[in-house]
Structure 1
Amino acid sequence: MRVRPKDPWPRRTVDWLVKNLFSSWFNTLLTLVSLWVIYFTVTRVWRWATETAVWAVIPANFQLFLVGVYPRDQLWRFHVILGVFAVLTALSVAAALNRDFGRKAMRWLVTPWLLFLPGSMFLLWGLPGSETLPHVQTSSWGGLTLTLVLAAVGIAGSLPIGILLALGRRSSLPVISVFSTFFIETVRGTPLVAIIFMAHLMVPIFLPGVTIDRVIRAMIGLTLFTSAYMAENVRGGLQSIPKGQYEAAQALGMSPALTMILVILPQALRSVLPSIVGQFISLFKDTSLVAIIGLMDLLGIARSITANPAWAGLQAETFLFIAIIYWIFCFALSYGSRRLERMLGLERPS
């Protein structure tokens, strides 16, 4: 049978345009209107960015955006953390792109990534009484560094807590099931702003005589809030597992605990991976709410800069810059999620 050769790419491009954008008079009208709106918006934004905007506010305060008021003589800690993060990211990307050794390399990289967060926290915190690594109060943490720390701690804490809550809600023990359900529904029915305020004001009440830092209280609020939503995502994955998986594990003589850990949970987490990453992205953006309790995260730094009379009237440039930063990190999480889905075979062919 003779195979028909493919048309040249200009012909295929024209066919695609006609089929998708100009297939009828209504689609043609929508296409032309959309092109006009895009042209109008892009030209106005470009003209503002190149002729009207004053971008001097960004380089003048770039260090504030990154680390806040962290002691300048201790910025080497931030550089070390950034270097380690860059190396781990480069190795992870290389492993993801290498089909032959990717999976093996990923296993070796799990431990460094797990140690990266506590190691970074220790380096930023320091040691009380040490001259080489002096203790730095969290009140000096700020900018993008604080935002990333809050997001990383929330992600690392909310996933295991969410898994336990999801299992607890499905438990046959009434006490555990009722407690898990009550916690999940109460937290999901409360705005994050209220949760952050409650963590900020009520944690010291429940722990009298114990001084808890404001950053730690914000971490607790963000972690508890996200864990409730994470529990529902995990529960949805657990409900998607067919009953035959449980029966097969029982036929192999596996205990209920081993069945859940080795058979059910891996499949459940795999099936709800997009929802989990979406929750992580939402958590990263929600960290901006800690500015209401006085923490100088990325948004708090931006607000303090625009309140400075020297930079008055430059709110658009400042907030557009931090919006781009948020978008870069959220896009990186989304792209990493798609790559992981492709490696796990979750992406369906279109």
Structure 2
Amino acid sequence: MKKRVLISVSDKSGLTEFAQFLEKNNYQLISTGGTFKHLKDAGLSPIQIDEVTNFPEMLDGRVKTLHPKVHGGLLAVRDNKEHMDTVAEHGIELIDMVVVNLYPFFENAGKNIPLDEKVEFIDIGGPSMLRSAAKNFKSVTVITNVEDYEKVKSEIETSGDTTLETRKTLAGKVFNLTSAYDAAISKMLLEEEYPQYLNASYKKVSDLRYGENPHQSAAYYVSTVENGAMKDFEQLGGKELSFNNLRDMDLCWKVVNEFKNEMACCAVKHSTPCGVAIGNTAVETYTKTFECDPVSIFGGIVAMNYKVDAATAEELGKTFLEIVMAVDFEEKALEILRQKKNLRIIKIKNPVSDKQTWVKIDGGLLVQDC
């Protein structure tokens, strides 16, 4: 007896190979819209979702999978006789796997486009299918990320199905995704400074080698909704960034952003400013910053709210620094700075966008405006 997999994705990377694997392993492919066309064009044999529901897509595609024949097939508990009798009575066939990723709301929420356009990126059917499949993880495999295709393939090749532990983990990923997705939507629509529920939607950029100290694990996340300087910078040279680097970069950049109409430079060491200055030229501004504390700046971070020229780069090169940050660099300045192979060179342009500061306390958060 064939198993059934419902596939509806916006990210089609790796999909053809994965769907080919499933079809070869006795899965009936069910799909919608653009995903159906993608699978057909790849020479596969999917069936349209309306062949399952006997109901056409409607409202410009807003209603495709919101149907008892879909959600009944996902939610029915296989060892519950009453459930199985009910689905049989209503001609509902079981669905064993769901492969869904969501409309690109995260990618569009922060754009300068009308609210009506942003609303169209809010996915309804996708999260509903994911949540139904995840709730019934004892029987249904649910995939939201292309990175999980290989693990699922490996387990099917080995034992004919995914393990319960894998299905549970994948279900957890669903609720991790949908909670972040809903938090991002709420953030866009709800303009309360201190709402009843404080939600946050952040996506992991990378794991870090360690945290504040070598024995602590750490990771780097960015907002899925808000823009910000620390979300959108460019590293032009040097080693990978650490937890302490990123924290000090944030502080350093916030200091120089306080100076809107002056050339400003700040040096930070261990989360403490050790020099701040304004000046009339790039090199003068840095030199005055250095002279605030020529000892503590060693091994620190320097941020400048102006373009770095060759003369300033020569002065920067005379001291061991972890990071040099600026809005831009002359080509000659980059040549000079890149002679220090480990020096992290950061091009950063966005103004500081933080409206609140959060302080974690045991079991809670303190929130204040900036």
The TM-score with structure 1 as length reference comes to 0.22
Which of the two has higher C-alpha Rg? Answer: 2
The TM-score with structure 2 as length reference comes to 0.21
Larger strand percent: 2
